[in-house]
Amino acid sequence: MKKTDVIIIGAGASGLMTAYTLAKAGKTVTVLEARNRIGGRINTVKENFSGPTELGAEFVHGDLPVTLNLLKEAGIDACDVGFEMWQSHNGTFKQSEEFVEGWDGFLEKLNKLQSDMPLLDFLEHNFSGARYDKMRSQIENYVAGYDTADFRDASAFALRNEWNHEDEDAQHRVDGGYGKMINYLANECRNAGNEIHTNTTAREVRWKANAVQVMAANGTIYEAGKVIVALPLGVLQAPDNAEGAITFNPPIEQQKQAIHNMGFGSVIKILLEFDEIFWEKETICANLSNMGFLFSDEAIPTYWTQSPAHSPLLTGWLGGPPAFAEKGTSDEAILQMAIASLANIFKTGQEQLQNKLIAWHVANWTAEPFTRGSYAYDKVKSPEARKVLLKPVATTIYFAGEYLYDGPAMGTVEAALTSGKNVAESILAKK
């Protein structure tokens, strides 16, 4: 087996960005990917649907420098996304971006918090009692839906930082899908003479200073001077005997504990393409022609369109603990949950909606063994855990991933790309 400078475990955005950056600098790399495809939580598909459809990451959430610069370098356009936010409650539609009753007062008190604590503890200390029941429920749903997080252990400081730096006015989609960016990174890596092996599950990392052997489930052994572990946090948190889990020999106990001090959310994404854009029909008692997002109280509560494009594709979203609770539910049952939710929202029959459906896909990322969730969120101990994981083990074992990013774009492709780029540059700086 050919020995390379660096082995990268995981061919998602972070792993491929690491490989791309190292390859550009003349380093040799081998990328190992357990799935039968590259991209990780980016998965742009064309089968069944009328156009490129994102089963995973979809938006560029803001004017994010690493993502937009990479797209520009690759010659891939990103289009601005403008849309209206609507809410459907008790049978009525309302255009509104206010999700939490008493939000300003809540955020004002949160900004005065001196010591970090789980968000639930903050709410119980400051907004207890029946008169705040609705607000607490709305905040819980917001944290679950947007951050895919559990407010029982999510860091109040981290959420405060996110909410104070939201850039909702700048939203983009990648023309043709994020898969084009992934293919660009992979092709650049291969064109430099490097290999990306799919269907190759790394099971064990045997290491000593500046010497690594990675044992794959198929029995192949890969050797390098260094290894970069670019797996999703959910996989790193999995038990040693779980599918996709990886062990280290000798063990790295400090890093293992740090991994478990970070939060990883849950999500199920439902793609639904209909034979017409039924939500724009005049029979609906609201003008939804520019609707981007729709929020409701249904079992599948959140939907979005392809606005500003007028497309018959609706995307359903279930995040946080409610998604985890449905981890073992069949795709067909989740589809029926979505159909029932839409039927309730739009006051129509489930059978009628089902007959209008021409393509669908349930992306249950929480049940997917090589992902095991959505994206990271901070717990109270996460900042210290991140410091541990950002330090290489004997300049030999490195970690990369969106969970290691510390900034307002947490949980995004930008976070993954930034982490991968930073790890590669730290290795290159130690010549």
Q: Residue 52's Cα: distance from chain center in Å? A: 19
Q: Residue 161's Cα: distance from chain center in Å? A: 19
Closest CA to 80 of 307, 391, 357: 307
DSSP 39: B
Give me the count of residues in the chain.
Answer: 431
Q: Tell me: is residue 124 an annotated ligand-binding position.
A: no
Sorted by sequence, the CB contacts under 8 Å of residue 417 that are 6+ apart come out as 13, 14, 17, 66, 67, 70
Q: Give the burial class of 281: count Cβ atoms within 10 A of its Cβ; 0-12 exposed, 13-18 middle, 19 or more buried.
A: exposed
Residue pair 275/358 in contact by the 8 Å Cβ criterion: yes
List the beta bridge partners of residue 304. 293, 315
Q: Distance between CA 157 and CA 155 in Å, rounded? A: 5
Q: Tell me: is residue 242 an annotated ligand-binding position.
A: no
Alpha carbon separation from 330 to 268, 326, 422 (Å, rounded): 11, 9, 39
- Residue 20 sits at φ, ψ, to 5 deg, of -60, -45
Closest CA to 354 of 291, 292, 278: 278
Both tokens of residue 167?
A: 């850039």
Q: Give the burial class of 343: count Cβ atoms within 10 A of its Cβ; 0-12 exposed, 13-18 middle, 19 or more buried.
A: middle
Sorted by sequence, the CB contacts under 8 Å of residue 250 that are 6+ apart come out as 207
Look at residue 383 and give its three-state secondary structure: helix
Q: What's at 174, amino acid-wise?
A: V
Both tokens of residue 87?
A: 């809410």
Q: Tell me: is residue 14 an annotated ligand-binding position.
A: yes
Binding-site residue ranges for FAD: 14, 33-34
Binding-site residue ranges: 14, 33-34
